[in-house]
Amino acid sequence: MYRLLVCALGLAGTVFGQSVDSYISTEGPMTKAGVLANIGPNGSKAAGASPGVVVASPSTSSPDYWYTWTRDSSLVFKSLIDQYTTGIDSTSSLRTLIDEFITAEAYIQTVSNPSGTLTTGGLGEPKFNVNETAFTGTWGRPQRDGPALRATAMITYGNWLYSNGNTTWVTSTLWPIVENDLGYVVSYWNESTYDLWEEVDSSSFFTTAVQHRALREGAMFATRIGQTSVVSSYTTQADNLLCFLQAKSYWNPTSGYITANTGGGRSGKDANTLLASIHTFDLSAGCDATTFQPCSDKALSNLKVYVDSFRSVYSINNGIASNAAIATGRYPEDTYQNGNPWYLTTFAVAEQLYDALNSWEAQGSLNVTSISLPFFQQFSSSIAVGTYSSTSSTYSTLISAVQSFADGFVAINAKYTPSDGSLAEQYSKSDGSPVSAVDLTWSYASALTAFEARNNTQFAGWGATGLTVPSTCSGNSGSTVAVTFNVDATTVYGENIYITGSVDALENWSPDNALLLSSANYPTWSITVNLPASTNVQYKYIRKYNGAVTWESDPNNSITTPASGSVTENDTWR
């Protein structure tokens, strides 16, 4: 099952390479077993879960992860569907699990929950009980990446089924589920969302990236199976998402990294961004920076900044060379469970590097730009900007060094993996012992995908090749109209009202950069902003008082700006 890639590495890389080969040969089957153990109804650690339901972890206290998350489930089953459709695991038992997953998710889509119903935003609900009933407790909701990730997993399976003659089932059973999810993305992509760590309510790079992917491949899938009526809306909003993906609120050119969230008050250095690159990887797109492909100059620069941010955070990283692999976590400011390295984030670094290596091999060259130069200087201080053919000694030197670097991150996880192969959520930053939720399904799935990336296993692309950012789309500069926002809001002394929304002029859902309204006509607060003409704009008012931020209740306010002139919006605080 695990086809090991043997590379010619330097001395340090050889040592790492041997340990990684040994680790994968034993850990690979155990991680697969770990995934399957957490899927109902027959998984050994998922008793009580409905068929096809992925249990995030068997842990029921400190923390309680005995739930099923749409995001986690979709990422897990995408890895399993990839294995099934490529023949890595073509067993009938896996096929049964995949079909049960589809049945379970089709039902979960219809479950009314605190985020709404199927037609009123309920697909953004992040988690459910393992018996497929709604979780009604307080939580960070909505989370808008789940529908996109679920659609991507199902489209992969749908394309395989369609190619193998199951056309009727695809169009009658699978497509309606996918269409629900993609319709949700079309309607809600430019509204605020909790990030994949469920902590920051703004816009999230990971969410934007996976939504963009889902709509691109959704348009191709719909065309293939004859559902052409939706293609235009998918393509239009995919263009808008690509504009937003390239927005200044994400890419930080001065410091050379991707800011993970438009809000949250942190540095923005976050595994969110690496996970976005590996889960939107398309080998045919090469090193395209438009979609932040793993070997693109922006993605490589971002990886270096992210990794370096952890070099002084965890004591287990002490004494490791500044160009060597280390343990990484979600983000350097993390305090959850005391803030520790995560198996899945450390695997994500390795996977992005393996994806980059596979891309360079496929194109037969490696390009160093001024943006990616600091990344490559880790391995060759004299490297210069330029393109290096696979026949050059410079190419060989850099490839070997990056391979050794990538293997190092797997070796770090190997060092802190217990002898039974179990992967918790985190391991201690002081001694490397497993902490937080035991047997995290996402940890196991992240190992599976990293190992397959190391094997250079080829999976289906999603249409990332040759994309260009449209010159005109929602949120882009161009003709504008003056919009005056008035909101009736009573406040206490020292409290102020701000506005933020879905376009650059409204700071792209950033609570930190939200625009202050004037209280000259209190209790009416006012501001006039130049917004893009002929554009649907979503917005909300927020309160700020003594450092606390309070958002208006859902749904977002919405305005479609005219082609010219000016307009006034009169609102009341909700």
Name the residues annotated as catalytic.
Answer: 195, 198
For residues 290 and 246, what is the distance between their CA atoms, to the nearest angstrom? 7
> For residue 531, what are the β-bridge partners?
481
Compute the half-sphere exposure of residue 278: CA atoms within 13 Å on the CB side of its CA.
30
**3-state SS assignment for residue 134:** strand
For residues 299 and 297, what is the distance between their CA atoms, to the nearest angstrom? 6
For residues 438 and 62, what is the distance between their CA atoms, to the nearest angstrom? 10
∠ CA 355-361-364 to the nearest 5 degrees?
140
For residues 315 and 42, what is the distance between their CA atoms, to the nearest angstrom? 40
**3-state SS assignment for residue 342:** strand
Q: Whose CA is closest to 309, among 356, 273, 337?
A: 273
377: left (phi over 0), alpha (psi -120 to 50) or beta: alpha
For residues 449 and 202, what is the distance between their CA atoms, to the nearest angstrom? 29
Cβ-based burial of 44 (10 A; exposed 0-12, middle 13-18, buried ≥19): exposed
For residues 83 and 76, what is the distance between their CA atoms, to the nearest angstrom? 11
For residues 445 and 464, what is the distance between their CA atoms, to the nearest angstrom? 24
Between the CA of residue 170 and those of 102, 106, 154, 166, 461, what are the distances in Å?
Answer: 11, 13, 10, 6, 19
CB 499 within 8 A of CB 517: yes
CB 500 within 8 A of CB 487: no
Strands (E), 168-290: 193-194, 201-202, 251-252, 257-258
Cβ-based burial of 172 (10 A; exposed 0-12, middle 13-18, buried ≥19): exposed
> For residue 1, what are the β-bridge partners?
none
* Pairing status of strand 251-252 against strand 480-488: unpaired
Question: Is 139 annotated among the ligand-binding residues?
Answer: yes
Identity (one letter) of the amino acid at 467?
L
**15 CA to centre of own chain:** 32
* Pairing status of strand 480-488 against strand 434-435: unpaired
Identity (one letter) of the amino acid at 184?
Y
Q: Whose CA is closest to 194, among 496, 460, 511?
A: 511
Residues forming the annotated binding site? 139
Residues forming the annotated binding site for substrate? 139
